[in-house]
């Protein structure tokens, strides 16, 4: 794929907002009674592709309003940012420097401090995600058509590559992990399909399950619902969403019905939590 097409793909790719929830230290909010609910400060982070920065925001817990708290530099053309489940570390995928930047998060202010130096990923890591246990990071590498696995140092947040890159489809643009942490799904924009992997619970290494399953035209994004029973893919080329049922034993996908129409060039899909 030529540099021009790569840059177009990067420019079109959605930036991701990562919100971390961190408990307040100490004995709770001033004036609160012993049985009052804890206050949880919240922070948001935005990867800014054109100026190589990550913006930092405090989130107003009552209104949701974002309050800018500065920025930090990441690598070259940051395209994806994610936060680990503990809210202590943030990871940024840099598509033109082919690496991942690790930041520690100040639990009081949300400020980011770089941990060590960038860690090499594959060619153009479009998407980076943390598994639900907070022990592993996965990067979907758009040009090298593979996924890099990293283990997380639980003390510093630093990343160490695990094994070698594992092949995905053509042009993997997004990777996600199911809520159980047993399976990973990679959507492949250029081969119009989804690759399923099982996750080694000890090492985090990926093993492909079955073969790629077809999605719509130019699938950009895949998500798994909170129950871990269904996966959804947004197809930017065919303007629709594909629904899959997840085999709870193997992680394999089976399409449910036919694609459901969306708007023009859908790039992302998410679901709400189930309330019973």
Domains of the chain, earliest start first: 1-22+40-167 (2.130.10.10), 171-276 (2.120.10.30)
User: What string of pLDDT tens digits covers the 276 residues of the chain?
Assistant: 444 444 434 444 433 344 443 433 333 333 334 444 555 569 999 999 999 999 999 999 888 899 999 999 999 999 999 999 999 999 999 999 999 999 999 999 999 999 999 999 999 999 999 999 999 999 999 999 999 999 999 999 999 999 999 999 999 999 999 999 999 999 999 999 999 999 999 999 999 999 999 999 999 999 999 999 999 999 999 999 999 999 999 999 999 999 999 999 999 999 987 655
pLDDT the model gives residue 33: 42
Query: Can you give the pTM of this predicted structure?
Result: 0.85
pLDDT the model gives residue 187: 98
Phi, psi of 231 (to 5 degrees): -125, 150
Distance CA 251, CA 67 (A): 40
Distance CA 221, CA 13 (A): 10
pLDDT the model gives residue 276: 52
Distance CA 111, CA 57 (A): 9
Spell out the residues 6+ positions from residue 18 whose beta carbon is closer than 8 angstroms to its own: 44, 45, 81, 82, 83, 90
Q: What is the three-class DSSP state of 160?
A: strand
pLDDT the model gives residue 269: 93
CA atoms within 13 Å, Cβ hemisphere of 10: 29
């Amino acid at each position: 794929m030529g540099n021009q097409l790569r840059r177009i793909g990067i420019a079109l790719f959605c930036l991701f907002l990562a919100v971390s929830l961190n408990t307040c230290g100490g004995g709770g909010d001033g004036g609160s009674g012993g049985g009052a609910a804890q206050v949880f400060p919240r922070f948001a982070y935005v990867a800014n592709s054109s100026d190589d920065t990550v913006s930092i925001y405090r989130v107003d817990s009552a209104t949701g309003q974002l309050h800018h708290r500065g920025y930090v530099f990441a690598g070259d053309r940051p395209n994806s940012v994610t936060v680990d489940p503990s809210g202590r570390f943030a990871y940024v995928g840099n598509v033109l420097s082919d690496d991942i930047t690790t930041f520690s998060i100040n639990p009081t202010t949300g400020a980011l401090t770089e941990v060590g130096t960038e860690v090499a990923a594959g060619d153009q890591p479009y998407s980076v995600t943390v598994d639900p246990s907070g022990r592993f990071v996965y990067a979907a590498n758009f040009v090298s058509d593979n996924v890099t696995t990293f283990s997380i140092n639980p003390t510093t947040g630093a990343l160490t590559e695990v094994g070698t890159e594992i092949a995905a489809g053509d042009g993997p643009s997004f990777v996600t992990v199911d809520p159980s942490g047993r399976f990973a799904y990679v959507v492949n924009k250029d081969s119009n399909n989804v690759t399923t992997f099982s996750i080694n619970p000890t090492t985090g290494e990926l093993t492909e399950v079955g073969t790629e399953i077809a999605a719509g035209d130019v699938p950009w994004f895949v998500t798994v619902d909170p129950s871990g029973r269904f996966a959804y893919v947004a197809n930017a080329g065919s303007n629709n969403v594909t629904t899959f049922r997840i085999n709870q034993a193997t992680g394999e996908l089976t399409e449910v019905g036919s694609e459901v129409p969306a708007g023009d060039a859908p790039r992302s899909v998410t679901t709400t939590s189930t309330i019973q």
